[in-house]
Structure 1
Amino acid sequence: MKLKNKIIGLISAAAIVTTFTSCDDEFSEIGSDVIGDVNFTDEVYSMQPLAYTTKLEKVQTSGLQGYQLGVYDDPVYGLSTYSILSQIQPTVDNPTFGRNAQVTSVYLNLPYQSTVIGTAQNSDNETLTDYKLDSVYGSMPIKLSVYKSDYFLKDFQVDSEDGMVYYDNDIGQTLDRNAVEDSLLVMVESFEPSGNEVTITVPDGDDEGTAPDISRVSPRLRVQLPADYFQQTILAKEGSAELSNANNFRNYFRGLYLKAEPRNGAGTLMYFNMSQADITVLYSFEELDASDLDGDGDTTDYVLKDKELKFRFSNNIINEIEKTPKLAIPEGDKETGDEKLFVKGGSGGIATVKLFNETITKEDGTTVSELDYIREQQWLINEASLKLYVDQSIVNGGESEPERLYVFNLETGNVLADYGFDLSLNLNNDEDPVNSLLNHLGRISRGSDNAGDYYKINLTQHLIRVLEGLDENSPIGISVSQNVNITNRVKALPSSGAEDFRIPFTSVVAHEGTVIYGNTTAVPEEKQLKLEILYTKAR
């Protein structure tokens, strides 16, 4: 394929030379010849990288930026069930509760990701807010159980200065499930998320009287917990060592386990920012009525006042992922590559791509590596891109297909050079990350039937830096992504038993999956995974 406009190629070449002032001499020489009588042509070089599936045994699910709870049924890969084990912490140390304090209600609150879409006035002239839920997938109920955990989550690993890392399959393996499910606090047989505004009771403000106030808040998972349990375990411990500081409390009240289970083989998956979650204990106590709030003329009696104590989900939080696979992810062939690449979020799979694996025989009969061959050509690289075609015989298409893929250096977990060069990068707009980084990590291209056709990944700057020796020719990882703006990394362990490596956080919380073609002879020529290099050369 020829470039349609040679002028565009020259402009691109000039831009590359200007941007990379540290280019090797062989690249600079071509730029200097543009002024002379040298003719230029635009060409395409197509190379086949080695590509195979890397199946993941487990992934780090502690220390994340967000956590999931619920059930997701992927049409390709099957059922995944997400539960949360977390330590909690009072917002104040050594709290005092007052005279004859009694718990009146306790609620677990996990706000959904939501946006305001409008307001309206009701018959009482109150303002009601309409919300749209984000990051809620599915519409079927789940079974939800809340347990008091008696398993102590350590902060540090033995013989290591690193913080403790927990994985998606630790519960039941390295963590004692019986201790995690120590005491059942409440069970909701059929829970469904709602996008409605929530009305809650809060302690009375400074306006008037002693009656609790009513407040309206954004949609949230809100489950009532047993008041008598928190009366015994919290209020009855006033002044004790257990409530005196964070470490003592974590050893005393070791955490909560939010266990999700499917109903009739289905459910709904919800994504939460756990820094916004809490447990609110509302309690009443007796206070001297020195200001005669009850209006009885007596300032020596006592009146009931309401107050609340909040607990935050903090320190160690773990997402458990239990899988009931419909399609098992196979081990990849690292020697010859795979016909199909199985890419699934969580502890699923990623695609590994290795560039420049061929040996080139030159006209004089000598051989050279593909990388050195391209270096010798002194091409000006205009564009380099991968096209990853979806295997539509397996993937049905539609909303269950991941909209974005993520590319990273498999040896470091870092993004590639093209990430920073993409002017469409919009880190300040997390409300619409699906439209960020479109030049580097293109959105899925869909046909008229809404089925995914291919993903186009631009690797121009990465290729130039590898050719110039500025970056190593490291293997590239390809994963699904929920938010390409996030570059945080977590640990993953491949099922092959090799050492752990870093993958994007956004891949761990991505619940979707797809299957893309590799480049073996079994793949149709037009669907094979190739790196296409558009370049300008002198002739």
Structure 2
Amino acid sequence: MLKNSFFKIISFLFFIVLFNSCDKEFSVVGSDLIVGGNFDIVKDSSSTVQSAWKKTGGIASNNLAVNALGILDNTVFGQTTANFATQVQLESTSVNPVINPDLGQDIVSVTLYIPYFTKPSVSTDKEGRPVYTLDSIYGNKASKIKLKIYENEFLLGNLNTEPGAPLSDINYPQLYYTNQNTFFSEKKGDLLYQNNDFVFSEKEYADSVPATTTSAATTTYTAPGMRLTLDKVFFQKLLFDKTSNGYSLASNSQFEQYFKGLYFSVEKNDVEGVLAVMNFKKGTIVVKYKEKALATDPTLTVEKSITLNLTGNTVNLLNNEPSTEPDSYSSPKADRLYVRGGEGSVATIDLFNPAVDKVTYNSNTQKIELGKSNDIPDELDYIKEKGWLVNDASLTFYVDQTLMKKVTTEPSKMFLYDIKNRKILAAAVLEKDAADRGLKYRFSITDYVRGLIKDDNVNFKLGVSIAQVISNVTFKKIKEAPAYATWTNLKTEEQNAYFFPESSVMSPLGTIFHGSTSTDENKRLKLEIYYTKTN
């Protein structure tokens, strides 16, 4: 340790600047910063950390912000097949046509378009058009898959149909789960599209617009996306045929009862699979049709269109094939932690040693007596008694690069969350080594540890999950949660144990960490605390 007070102050100030750059919310607790006097900055990593992991099983995947479609192969986690079902809604009920077969309403085309996520274009082609690169696409981007789109004949309703559950209980809504693909597959109707060689293409669409009496010929451009031609015969019958009596285009509530939406089904084609995460809610179906301009002259027609949006209720249906991933490891001494998105798994973390009853020797009775515990871990009690001024606290999860060596895409972000209160505490991004391989994720938990020391906050069990979208901090309930009759008798913190971050459900990726008992001590999960020690 430095003996010169001047150098101690310089080192301390440099340390604060360094960690302030990593933690925008850095602040010293209260007014405990010592100005002048003798102090040292000490690193401590001796506190107990217990880690485990568990699979989520089927988890609610209705109305996710983004959804996966495709097949992803992973040498560790096996194969994930992602199917999808969605309601379809009228873009506008005020401008849609009156169904009148006497007008000879004949459909010209039915086009489905769902834009892909793309990275900002940094170059152009020889014609000056932007060169797109797809984002949020995983696996072999050149792989082909078998894609089929069916009419969905199951209504994705809003009202809970579980026996005993109130239909309008906002705390217990109707949920649909990742592991219900078989159910939806059995409810599919007419086949509306099929392509055994479908690829997620990054090419933009160029459409020629012919010249008219008032305008010159031109070309319109559409960003890369899933643009498919659906079955005209089906939509002709759906929208205009006499057999469609009993419904109208006047409201979505009526329309959804008659046309319950689409079911997207994928199968593998190439040796390697490919999967895309997409924002289906930006998808549209444009139905173009011709209608008689005059009832007295059938040769005069006008072109019109109806737009349907994929903005109704949705569900992402995920099937995970067997893999080398072991069963959930519930022991707090797990040496490896398997963390996976989708219908996946999360890690659980306990900081500090468990609170124990105090053992004392009674000199009067000459017996060892068991005193009452204060419910605070002894390690934390020690820190509180010593009055540590915490400058930084962190949990660093090292990737097992040996087990992950054949995995081509790793999760870029992670969440650390408070399980009991269903609250996101921190996020971490993947740090890579010189070989561009995932190395570690570092969570800053400075404020959390300061709260335990200074404010007597409760030390909760923490969870670690994949984070597909960092801004999404909502949670989804697992299918194994208790039935309604039992659920209502649980305390809030007991109910929260059945929830996991929605952002994890949206991700198809996974990784493996060194746990708290890893044989590699340099990569073992540890709680590191830097604090100011007064002399």
Which band: TM-score by shorter chain?
0.7 to 0.9
- 1:305-454 map, 5 Å: 305-334=302-331, 336-358=332-354, 369-396=378-405, 399-416=408-425, 419=426, 441-446=428-433, 448-454=434-440
Distance 1:143 1:529 in 2: 42
2:279 alignment partner in structure 1: 273
1:198 alignment partner in structure 2: 205
Q: Residues 407 and 478 of structure 1 are in contact (CA less than 8 Å); yes or no, is this contact kept in structure 2?
A: yes
Indicate how the Cα distance of structure 1 residues 300 and 153 shifts in structure 2: closer, same or farther if over 3 A, else same. Answer: closer
Distance 1:143 1:70 in 2: 9
Measured on the aligned residues, the alpha-carbon RMSD in Å equals: 3.7
2:55 alignment partner in structure 1: 55
- What is the CA deviation profile of residues 340-366 of structure 1, one whole-angstrom value per residue up to 9, with x for unaligned ones? 100111111111111122469999999
- What is the CA deviation profile of residues 119-176 of structure 1, one whole-angstrom value per residue up to 9, with x for unaligned ones? 5675xxxx7443222112232111100111111122021424123222111232xx45
1:132 alignment partner in structure 2: 133
**How many angstroms does 1:101 deviate by?**
1.4
- Counterpart amino acid of 2:533? K
**How many angstroms does 1:213 deviate by?**
8.2
- Counterpart amino acid of 2:193? V
2:364 alignment partner in structure 1: none
Q: Residues 339 and 345 of structure 2 are in contact (CA less than 8 Å); yes or no, is this contact kept in structure 1?
A: yes
Indicate how the Cα distance of structure 1 residues 275 and 56 shifts in structure 2: closer, same or farther if over 3 A, else same. Answer: same
1:480 alignment partner in structure 2: 466
- What is the CA deviation profile of residues 8-28 of structure 1, one whole-angstrom value per residue up to 9, with x for unaligned ones? 536878999x9879x6xxx75
Does 1:77 pair with 2:77? yes
User: Alignment partner of 2:56: what SS?
Assistant: strand
Does 1:146 pair with 2:149? yes
User: Alignment partner of 1:182: what SS?
Assistant: strand
- 1:193-342 map, 5 Å: 193-200=200-207, 208=213, 215-236=220-241, 241-288=247-294, 303-334=300-331, 336-342=332-338
Does 1:184 pair with 2:187? no
Distance 1:364 1:40 in 2: 34
1:463 alignment partner in structure 2: 449
- Counterpart amino acid of 1:315? G
Q: Residues 107 and 281 of structure 1 are in contact (CA less than 8 Å); yes or no, is this contact kept in structure 2?
A: yes
Does 1:42 pair with 2:41? yes
- Counterpart amino acid of 1:131? Y
Indicate how the Cα distance of structure 1 residues 211 and 57 shifts in structure 2: closer, same or farther if over 3 A, else same. Answer: farther
Indicate how the Cα distance of structure 1 residues 314 and 282 shifts in structure 2: closer, same or farther if over 3 A, else same. Answer: same
User: Alignment partner of 1:247: what SS?
Assistant: helix
Distance 1:495 1:251 in 2: 29
Query: What stretches of structure 1 of length at least 5 have no aligned partner?
Result: 290-298, 420-439
- What is the CA deviation profile of residues 306-350 of structure 1, one whole-angstrom value per residue up to 9, with x for unaligned ones? 22211111221010111113223422224x331110011111111
Distance 1:401 1:462 in 2: 27
User: Alignment partner of 1:443: what SS?
Assistant: strand
**How many angstroms does 1:231 deviate by?**
0.5
Distance 2:15 2:435 in 1: 35
**What TM-score, normalized to structure 1?**
0.80
Distance 1:535 1:361 in 2: 28
**What TM-score, normalized to structure 2?**
0.81
User: Alignment partner of 1:341: what SS?
Assistant: strand
**How many angstroms does 1:210 deviate by?**
11
1:169 alignment partner in structure 2: 179
Indicate how the Cα distance of structure 1 residues 216 and 176 shifts in structure 2: closer, same or farther if over 3 A, else same. Answer: closer
Indicate how the Cα distance of structure 1 residues 118 and 12 shifts in structure 2: closer, same or farther if over 3 A, else same. Answer: closer
Indicate how the Cα distance of structure 1 residues 321 and 248 shifts in structure 2: closer, same or farther if over 3 A, else same. Answer: same
User: Alignment partner of 2:234: what SS?
Assistant: helix
User: Alignment partner of 1:249: what SS?
Assistant: helix
- What is the CA deviation profile of residues 30-56 of structure 1, one whole-angstrom value per residue up to 9, with x for unaligned ones? 54xx3564x212222212311100211
Indicate how the Cα distance of structure 1 residues 442 and 150 shifts in structure 2: closer, same or farther if over 3 A, else same. Answer: closer
Indicate how the Cα distance of structure 1 residues 347 and 6 shifts in structure 2: closer, same or farther if over 3 A, else same. Answer: farther
**How many angstroms does 1:182 deviate by?**
2.2
Q: Residues 83 and 265 of structure 2 are in contact (CA less than 8 Å); yes or no, is this contact kept in structure 1?
A: yes
- Counterpart amino acid of 1:464? R
- What is the CA deviation profile of residues 171-213 of structure 1, one whole-angstrom value per residue up to 9, with x for unaligned ones? 32xx45311x2222221111011111113588x99x6479998
- Aligned-pair identity (%): 26
- Counterpart amino acid of 2:262? L
Q: Residues 212 and 306 of structure 1 are in contact (CA less than 8 Å); yes or no, is this contact kept in structure 2?
A: no
Aligned residue pairs total 487
User: Alignment partner of 2:12: what SS?
Assistant: helix
Distance 1:66 1:93 in 2: 26
Does 1:105 pair with 2:101? no
**How many angstroms does 1:449 deviate by?**
3.0
**How many angstroms does 1:62 deviate by?**
1.1
- What is the CA deviation profile of residues 447-480 of structure 1, one whole-angstrom value per residue up to 9, with x for unaligned ones? x333323222211111112222364311111112
Distance 2:59 2:217 in 1: 45
User: Alignment partner of 1:248: what SS?
Assistant: helix
Indicate how the Cα distance of structure 1 residues 86 and 342 shifts in structure 2: closer, same or farther if over 3 A, else same. Answer: same
Distance 1:301 1:235 in 2: 17
Indicate how the Cα distance of structure 1 residues 6 and 353 shifts in structure 2: closer, same or farther if over 3 A, else same. Answer: farther
